[in-house]
Amino acid sequence: MKLENFLPALGFLSFKFLTCNSSIKKIIKAFVYALMLSNFIFISIFENKILDFISPFITFFAIYNIINLDRCGFFWAGFFSGILWFYWISFSFIYYELAWLIPLVIFGIGVIYGLIFLAASLPSFVALRAILLFIFSYIPPFGFNWFNLEATLILGIFQPNIRGLIAIFLAAILASYLKGYLRIIAVIVSLAFGVGFKNTKPVELPFSLELVNTNVKQSQKWDKNLKDKFIDEAILIIDNAIALKKRAILMPENAFATFMTHEKNLQRELLEKSHKIAIIAGSLAYENGSNFNSTFLFDNGVMKRFDKVVLVPFGEEIPLPNFAKEIINKLFFDGASDFKTAKEPSSYTIDGVKIRNAICYEATTDRLFKGDFDVMFAITNNGWFKSDFFPTTQPILQRNLLKYYATKYNKIIYHSVNGSKSEIIKPKEF
């Protein structure tokens, strides 16, 4: 059964390169290999040491099989990989009252990553295809860097860095060209090159921290009728932490779903409580006609504000030329303008500990780990990516990426979240 027999009926899907010997069987195989490449996301759900150990070897077999596909197979492997990793992005459109766009967004994500894989398949040599796929995995489309093949090694015995990934790709290339015992020996030696080793012990907090977890639905979070209710609940959480004699409390992104800069009474109340506990919480800020996604620190009667540095592509900014940006904002986001950012990452000090501030997406970027600091406090609102009708793997992927960066820079990340689990994320142990 040939797919080209059905493509004419699909109209705009009838790309010529998809009809080159692209059978249903080959598409299914490409889906299986994409699922194998995505295995670390789904295996993480089980928190099973045996599955964790197996995970990077599944990744190796995925890469080996993908680089040996024909061009059509390459496209479909990328298409399904993009969807398996990022289908949940489409859920955020529910809260812009654009749910009808969900299938189109999912399809678009698949096409973007399908084309990236297709570009890597253009050479006829398997080794060159593997090298291009390796290189292209480091090029973020529209600045979105979550397709990180190094992070696929966050489980198991391999180092989740460029050395570990080179080992996996080299083993896949050698397995493609060699036969018999020579192939087995070459693969084992190559994979051994990527095995991890113990890191030095990272800095931990010397004081007690209340790590807050909330589960406010995104559909309710910005409801003006519920604003006072949610503020009262947040104040109660702070009071409970004070009763427990915690030194600090870390609350999620937009824990106060308002413009903190406008809330003078709320500021006074938090400043008063800050003599008993340091309060770190997310809220919005407005200054000089611009909106900011910010973290507010209240400590010893002083308020400080730290603005986000790296915005979410197509969430907080449109990473396109101004004319296209204005059109998209007008059509889909009621003419809203992009958030503004701080120029550099921010840090603050509590009891001598230098803490790097990070808000959601930016905690999974290299830029936020540059410079001198001891630990990272990250705050997130994952309510955007939850659906009442379909499960989301977004928090799992995010957690794996945070652990990847914690390992890469040997830092502990204290992560306070709305909509999924809050936790202390430490570097990978070997």
Environment class of 90 (CB within 10 Å of its CB; exposed 0-12, middle 13-18, buried 19+): buried
Which helix (H) or strand (E) covers residue 347, if one does? strand 347-350
Q: Give me the DSSP letters along 315-339.
A: TTB--S-HHHHHHHHHHHSTTPPPP
Per-residue tokens: 411: 């830092």
Report the alpha-carbon angle 407-408-414, nearest 5.
Answer: 50
DSSP state of 87: G
3-state secondary structure of 248: strand
Q: Is 16 a catalytic residue?
A: no
- Torsion angles phi and psi, residue 290, rounded to 5: -120, 150
C-alpha radius of gyration, the chain, whole number: 23
As given in the structure block, the two tokens for residue 88 are 């949940």
Q: Is 360 a catalytic residue?
A: yes
Rounded to whole angstroms, how far apart are CA atoms 30 and 218?
A: 35
Distance CA 15, CA 18 (A): 6
Q: How many Å apart are CA 343 and CA 280, to the nearest integer?
A: 21
Catalytic choice (221, 246, 273, 308)? 308
Nearest to 414 by CA among 221, 255, 248, 246: 248
Cα 266 to Cα 337: distance, rounded to the nearest angstrom: 27
* SS3 call for 359: strand
Catalytic pick among 150, 253, 317, 362: 253
Q: Strands 413-418 and 213-214: what pairing?
A: parallel
Joined together, the tokens standing for residue 424 give 């202390």
SS3 call for 294: strand
- Using DSSP, state whether 410 is helix, strand or coil: coil
* Calpha distance 277→144 (Å, rounded): 36
Q: Can you read off the two tokens belonging to residue 214?
A: 């909330």
The question of whether 308 is a catalytic residue gets the answer yes
**Phi, psi torsion values for 39, nearest 5 degrees:** -60, -35
Report, as residue numbers or ranges, the catalytic residues.
253, 308, 360
